[in-house]
Every structure is written in C-alpha cells, then in structure tokens.
Amino acid sequence: MSPKSILAVFGATGQQGSSIVTTVLNHPELSTRYALRAITRNASGSKAVELAEKGVEIVEANLDDPLSLPRAVGNAHTVVLVTETQYEADLKEREFHQAKSVADAAVAAGVQFLIFSTCVHSVKLWDHGPVDQFDVKAEIEEYIRALPLKSAFFAPGMFMSNLTRGMIPRKQGDGSYAIIGTNDPHARIPLIETAADSGVYAVPLLKDPEAMDGKTMYAATGLYTFSEIVEIISRVSGETVRYVQIPREVYAGYMKEEMGARMAAMMRFIDEAGYYGPGTEEKVKETVAIVEGKLTTFEEFAETYLKDLA
C-alpha cells in the first residue's frame, strides 16, 4: 500500500478547517489517501486534543512566526490555508504577511497543492472604495496563483452561524424579536453552514487537484434575503421576528472604529455589487452542482439553532 499523502490544515480548530478535517476523516476515499495534520496555535487546546484522539497529527505553529511554518508544512502534499481577519489598523498588512509566509514556506517545502479560503476583489467590482476584509484575501489569492505550485480556492458565503452571534434576533419591548442590520432587506445573500459544510466543498478539490487547479468554489447552499431569513426564523420558532434596516453610519457605530466602517462597507458592497460580484447566483449554482453530499439549507440550520429564541 502506498503511503498516504500529508494534508496539512491551518485553522484546523476553526469552523472551516475543522469541517475539512472531519470530512476527510469520514470520507471513504479521501481518508485512505490523506494523512491529516492539524496546524494550531495551541496544541493543548480542547479541540486540538479531540483531533489528536482521532488520529490527526497536531503541529503547533503561529502565522505571525515564519520560523514555525517549515515544520508545519514539511513533507505535506497539500496545504489548506484559512486566515483569520483581525480588525485592527494593520488588517491588510498583517493578514497578507501571514498568508505569504505560509505560501512561501509551502513552495520551499515542495508542497504540490495549496487550497486557500478567499474572497472577491471589491475594488475591481465597484467604485465606492475598498472592502479591506475581502480585498486582502483576493490579493493573497493573486499572490498564490503566481507561485510554482497548483492551487484552488474556497470562497465561503456569509456564515449562517452569524445569526446565532452578532446578528442574533434580539427581543424587543413588545415581545417580538428583531435582526438589526444595514443591508437592503431584499438583497440576495449566499449563506453557508460553515461548520457542517466547508468540508463538502473541499472534497472535489482534494479528489482531483489536477482538474481543479485554478478553480474557485463559491461555497453557499443558496441565496436568501433578510426578509426571507426572518420569515424562516419566525416559522420555526413560533415567534414574531422582523428585520430592521438602520443607516450604515449607525450600524458602524455599534462596533469599534477599525471594524465598524469596514463592516458597513462590506454590507454596502453586498447590496450593490453582489456578494461574489456579477453572476453571484450563477456562481453558487455552478458550485453546488459539482459538490458531493448534502448541504445544509438555512431552514435546516434555523430548525437546529434558532428554534428557541428565549
């Protein structure tokens, strides 16, 4: 039997990375082809320990420490890179430097295939200024595409889990619930159940790196408006849930300065240019058509996580 190829996953304890690791572990074909290596900043953390108990190799590395990266990618055939946006003044510089360090280490180590979690390049799609948290990933993608190794890209839609966190329905004085945001209630937004489904989108990439070289997976189950989202939550919870649109400057004011303006710019971009730019819905449909396995609808997500709003 040929030895397994090493699949090294950065961000392996986060939603995207953990989903990819779990999917590969449980996949009848990929589990025989790949030996999994989880890259984490904290090898003793509970999630890392759980992965180790499943037979996953755990390697500690820090994206801000380039000297820790050669061991993380050493002897790997494929690297999955998920970066985490830090809403600070140096957002773009820091995230680009982190990703560049991983990509350069991968090339130096002879890695054959690099999968990066990306976003579209807003400054190429509209004329209303940058969306830093999107643009930095697009610029990282451009850098990776120019390197001497095969690469493919995973572009997740808006996380359904946001509806259980910052965008959670909040109880109002009259007993109803409201989701407060700045998006047009009729803007169609691609949604992904990141923790459950990220790995599903990675399967075609991992099964055939040659054929998928240069491809982007626009990862979302489907597109939903906030009007549809609150209707679904109302139906599954039995509560009255409304969407309340507020001005962008008010929305931005609920967050710290380095985050608020960027989030407001992102929401405006989604409304006016489309989450993935022109042809967003077609891009999602084309991706869904090539994935294997079941994808989670927002209705199913709401049944699981938003049925009890109390």
- The answer to whether residue 187 scores a pLDDT higher than 60 is yes
Pairing outcome for strands 76-81 and 113-117? parallel
Predicted TM-score (pTM) of this structure = 0.96
- The answer to whether residue 262 scores a pLDDT higher than 50 is yes
- The answer to whether residue 251 scores a pLDDT higher than 60 is yes
Query: 191 Cβ partners below 8 Å, 6+ apart?
Result: 157, 158, 159, 160, 220, 221, 222, 223, 224, 298
What is the average pLDDT across 225-254? 97
What is the per-residue pLDDT for 310? Answer: 73
Share of residues in the chain with pLDDT > 90 (%): 97
- Round to whole Å and give the CA distance between 240 and 252: 26
What is the average pLDDT across 246-265? 96
What is the per-residue pLDDT for 1? Answer: 45
DSSP tag of 288:
H
Q: Which tens digit of pLDDT belongs to each residue from 28-83?
A: 999 999 999 999 999 999 999 999 999 999 999 999 999 999 999 999 999 999 99
Side-chain-facing half-sphere of 273: CA atoms under 13 Å: 21
Contact (CB, 8 A) for 36 and 21: yes
- The answer to whether residue 229 scores a pLDDT higher than 60 is yes
Q: Which tens digit of pLDDT belongs to each residue from 137-154?
A: 999 999 999 999 999 999
The one-letter code for the residue type at 103 is: A
In angstroms, how far is CA 184 from the centroid of its own chain? 23
Q: Provide the 10 A C-beta neighbour count for residue 98.
A: 23
- Round to whole Å and give the CA distance between 241 and 168: 11
Cα Dmax for the chain: 66
What is the per-residue pLDDT for 3? Answer: 85
Phi and psi angles of residue 285, each rounded to the nearest 5 degrees, phi first: -60, -40
Contact (CB, 8 A) for 21 and 30: no
Question: Domains in the chain, start-ordered, CATH in brackets?
Answer: 5-305 (3.40.50.720)
DSSP tag of 206:
H
In DSSP notation, 171-218 reads E-TTS-EEEEESS-TT--EEEE-HHHHHHHHHHHHHH-HHHHTT-EEE
How far, CA to CA in Å, does 79 sit from each of 12, 97, 148? 11, 17, 14
Signed CA dihedral, 179, 277, 294, 10: sign only: negative
Contact (CB, 8 A) for 113 and 148: no
- The answer to whether residue 166 scores a pLDDT higher than 70 is yes
Q: Which tens digit of pLDDT belongs to each residue from 274-309?
A: 999 999 999 999 999 999 889 999 999 999 999 999
Q: Which two tokens stand for residue 309?
A: 């709003």
What is the average pLDDT across 202-215? 97
